[in-house]
Structure 1
Amino acid sequence: MFKPEDFSFDPEAKTCVCPAGKTLYGNGSNCQFNGYLAIKFQGAQQDCLPCPMRSQCLRHPQKTKTRQVAFFLGKAPGHESHTDRMKAKIDSEQGKQMITRRFATVEPVFGNLRGNKGLDRFTLRGRNKVDGQWKLYCLVHNIEKLTHHGYAH
């Protein structure tokens, strides 16, 4: 199957040529897919229907008349993903302090439960059951802390 890399795309002229040497029509510029800008192209029926490379170009040549292809140009301006916002938040001064506190308080508990106790997944399903199982995991962790610090006597 041909991939977009097999098509000749000229970003300056905004043209696209298929592997068979036919020029595709631009049927969308400045399109956005998941926060990325793209340019879309589509082949002409007069070129695609009789093409000998049709079976390599289309997944379902018996159903689809023409090939469509899109080329991504980068992130759309003004579009910020959840991941980008989280990176900015973590990189801020407040975020660095928050992560430091988390590593000091929460991560040792997770490490102990997963690494030492082997409690690395929930065996139950449903919010209430998982919540109960998590509380039992925490109870195991806290009982062990109490015994190590001399409160068991």
Structure 2
Amino acid sequence: MWVALAADAGYHSEANLKQLAERGIAAWICDNHYRSRDPRYARQAKHKTTPDTLWDKSAKENKTRCFRPQDFQLAEDHSHCLCPAGKRLYANGSNCTIGGRHAIKFCGAERDCLPCERRSQCLRKPDTTKTRQVAFFMGKRDGTQSHTERMKARIDSDTGKRMIAARFATVEPVFGNLRHNKRLTRFTLRGRQKVDAQWKLWCMMHNIEKLAHHGYAG
């Protein structure tokens, strides 16, 4: 009998992945950025701004986040990378070691960075920092991949995508919706029969909402 383990990003750590590998357990454990690498989730942001009929789930305004390395496009020959504004950053360190990992560093040109309208999104201190620098990690310096890097490749494979998608067919989203979105943190009635009836009413509301969101209403 084949047994596989699938888990969310809360269980993703180098130590956990190492233990699974040493025990020979087939596992697919998401990292925090796996959705950004999967084109199936490219339009997921639109759901965060869809209002709920009972409680507003729209995205709250957060502090502006600077562009991260994954927002930059690395050239195939690693000679340069392109920033979100389409400007070229030039290599200023192709054989660096950071935390035991091989890294390639790039730096923008002042003629591009100084007049750029997206400086506030790219630099933490745009008033004092002239150009943007970014580093891409290419693996461990000794030539072996970390367990995290191997798991990313496994998650991004066709099999990995199917395994992760299979996790969505669980009851956890129902509990999350009722507890977090609908704020069902406790029952207001007492007795098994009354609590059972109250729980079924909340579940009925959950199902009706799903039907309405999928276009069955009206």
Structure with bigger helix share is: 1
TM-score by length of 1: 0.49
Comparing both chains, which one has the higher relative contact order based on Cα–Cα distances under 8 Å and sequence gaps of 6 or more? 2
TM-score by length of 2: 0.35
